[in-house]
Amino acid sequence: MSEPIELTDDNFEQEVLKSDLPVLVDFWATWCGPCRMVGPIVDELAKEYVGKLKVGKLNGDNNGKTSIKYGIMSIPSLLFFKKGQVVDQMVGAAPKNSFVEKLERILIG
């Protein structure tokens, strides 16, 4: 899969918590400027980590239940899941290499 999965409150458990692969979840909203900066990076990571990582995007405005469950207070927030558990997170816009460094640590560890 080379495109991020559209995550919702309804499919989050199946796509993220039950995933065999580590998962990067981008919590975003259409009105969020920094989210528009991070979005293309998340799209690139989805293509570059095919088979190693699942990447999904969750629109927080439309999926409040999941956003509340994970304490999302600011967006963009990117949560890194492994075996159904949050193992790391990033809040706000950052350069691509920051995401890659975290991903590499998660995938190796």
Which residue numbers are catalytic?
32, 35
d(CA 34, CA 38): 6
Burial track 5-35 (b if 16+ CB lie within 10 A, e otherwise): bebeeeebeebbeebebbbbbbbbeeebeeb
